[in-house]
Amino acid sequence: MIAVASLIVLVAVIALSAITKKNAGVIGLIAAYIFGLIASACGTEISVAKIATSNWPMSVFFIVLSTTFLFGIATLNGTTQALSKNIVCLAGGNARILPLIFFVFGAIISAAGAGGLIVAVIMPIALFVAIENGISVLMMSLVTMGGIMVGGLSPLAINGIVAQQLSVENGIIAENLSGYLPLWGAYAAAMTLFSLGAYFILGGLKPKKVEGAEKPHFTKFNRSQTMTLIAILVVLVGVIFFEQNIGLISFACAGLLLLLGAVDQKKAIAAIPWSTIILICGMSVLIGVVNTCGGIDFLSGKLENIIGEKSAQPIMMVLGGLMGAVSSGTGVVMPTLIPLAAELSGTLNISAMSLVIGVIVGTNGVVISPLSTVGGICVGCAPESVDKDKLYNQLLLAAVCFIAMSVVLSLLGAFGIFG
């Protein structure tokens, strides 16, 4: 049966990518082409010649390209690094509030468009500050990642862009900011609650005293960094208040920064995360083929037999968490499960918003796991004095705890206020 075979191929691509550590988008494109040939030969109405052109997500592709182009420039010319260092000065020597400052700062920068990958810039500084000020490395890691991921679901960041676009395309929300806010709010509430729990449980109020710790100094922004800050502000104002297309305005601002000499052109273009873009778009092509072959409909029919009104959201959280732990949430999990949620909503007469909230919370909650890109970067950023194997296991357990917490909240009806 072609529908079942298409799902097997999807699972195989995800597994092969996890085992070999190769880009799932590249593997997905190959699989889409080969399976498309097989499906066509078996009588499925699928145009092999149009597999890529019909399923390549042009809107998401351009938005991701443009926003990462702009924030790649910000990273290259030191703008994000300077911002991260200066935020430490706000603590005024009070170690207790440093993790909360990094939470808020990470959320703001990530929400402005930098997305979850900004962890690579903020986390090294956060963990250095933690060690220098007697703060638990695990707690600082969880709180900082929590803030970054709260911002990472904003409609300006990659994860948020993908979540919003998929929800709009599947008729779950209206194509405006107010339609997306409940989805973002549900995840932000869950991750904030988890981060605050980590802060209090892991000694946020009782940091160890460190003698001779040097207070950080304010870092002045140079000409290029000032121009970059202005460009980011223009994007924010344009998108939020004047409803400008985020892709076009981000690309325009990035281009102007190049013309003004704010960064080296070759380095800026090379800094665009092409692997992430290929991952997202390549897997979208494969999922398009799976959908054409009836795989999504088949999975939807099977889940109808086990999902009930109360269990639907928790099941989608666990499913999103399990898939998100071993594959890309933006490139694989959300593009697979959000259309499925829309299908289940119609057949089971369950709120589509409720199901998508489950998908988004579960999928993006496990990014704190070291198996994910964000969690993996966190472990890699840890200073030499940190036991990285121990931190790896702690973050893995933390991801499980987040999903468990979210499932309990779901069963208690806590997410009902969001939809």
**pLDDT tens for each residue of the chain, 419 residues long:** 898 999 899 889 888 887 887 888 899 999 999 999 999 888 888 888 888 888 888 877 887 788 878 888 988 998 877 876 777 777 776 788 889 999 998 999 888 877 787 787 788 788 878 887 788 999 999 999 999 999 999 988 888 888 888 888 888 887 776 788 889 999 999 999 999 999 999 988 877 765 555 566 788 999 999 999 899 888 877 876 776 877 899 899 999 999 999 999 999 999 888 887 888 788 888 888 988 898 877 876 676 677 777 788 998 898 888 777 666 677 778 888 888 888 888 777 778 888 999 999 999 998 888 777 788 778 877 777 888 778 888 988 999 999 999 999 999 989 888 86
Residue 125: how many CB atoms within 10 A of its CB?
18
Using N-to-C axis directions, what is the helix angle for 2-20 and 24-41, rounded to 10°?
160
Residue partners of 156: CB distance under 8 A and separation at least 6: 67, 111, 112, 113, 235, 236, 239, 246
- d(C-alpha 365, C-alpha 191), whole Å: 7
Q: Which residue has the tokens 């938005």?
A: 63
Give the Cα-Cα-Cα angle 177, 178, 183 (nearest 5 degrees): 90
Q: How many Cα neighbours within 13 Å face the side chain of 345? A: 22
Tokens read off for 236: 């924010």
* Count of other CB atoms within 10 angstroms of residue 37: 13
Q: Which H or E run includes 58?
A: helix 58-76
Q: How far apart are CA 83 and CA 122, in angstroms?
A: 9
The overall pTM is greater than 0.85: no
Give the number of other Cβ atoms within 10 Å of residue 62's Cβ: 17
H/E stretch holding 296: helix 295-303
CA 199 to the chain's CA centroid: 22
Q: Which amino acid is at 222?
A: N
Q: What is the dihedral of CA 89, 68, 230, 157, to 10 degrees?
A: -70
Give the 3-state secondary structure of residue 271.
Answer: coil
Rounded (10°) angle between helices 352-365 and 388-411: 170
